[in-house]
Amino acid sequence: MRTKLPTFLLTCLLAAATTACVKLPRRAALAVVKAPMAQALNQSSPPFSINRSSREELEKLPGIGPALAARIVEHRERHGPFRRVEHLLIVRGISERRFREIRALITAE
């Protein structure tokens, strides 16, 4: 039993030292995945107007689901049109990170 323990530990250390797997930091991995999707959406269609788009159109934006699209439309109906795209941050559920993801895809016209 005692002779197997050092061999097992040595094997584990060698396996851990020779691992070829490289893990990207979380932010870098998210940027790699989401950037092509945003670019493809941006190239295929004109920017979405957050003041004129329907709930269904807003759902096409990355990270915007049915509930969040409904909140955007409700805020627009209650308080009037957005003057600037940055005012979208007032809507509950729109974080700075989510706003950065969709910023290039929206306008406030």
Domain for residue 15, yes or no? Answer: no
Phi then psi for residue 48, to 5 deg, are -80, 135
CATH code for the domain of 88: 1.10.150.320
Number of domain units in the chain: 1
Domain for residue 12, yes or no? Answer: no
- The residue type found at 43 is Q
**Tens digits of per-residue pLDDT, 68-98?**
999 999 999 999 999 999 999 999 999 999 9
Domain for residue 89, yes or no? Answer: yes
- Tell me which residue range forms the domain holding 47: 25-107
Domain for residue 18, yes or no? Answer: no
Distances (CA, A) of 7 to 1, 4, 66, 108: 11, 5, 56, 66
| Local structure of residue 48 (DSSP, 8 states) | E
**Tens digits of per-residue pLDDT, 39-71?**
555 455 678 899 999 999 999 999 999 999 999
Domain for residue 97, yes or no? Answer: yes
Domain for residue 93, yes or no? Answer: yes
The pLDDT, as a whole number, for residue 14 is 64
The model carries a pTM of 0.60
| Statement: residue 34 has pLDDT above 70 | no
The pLDDT, as a whole number, for residue 25 is 60
Domain for residue 8, yes or no? Answer: no
Which is more confidently placed, 46 or 29?
Answer: 46
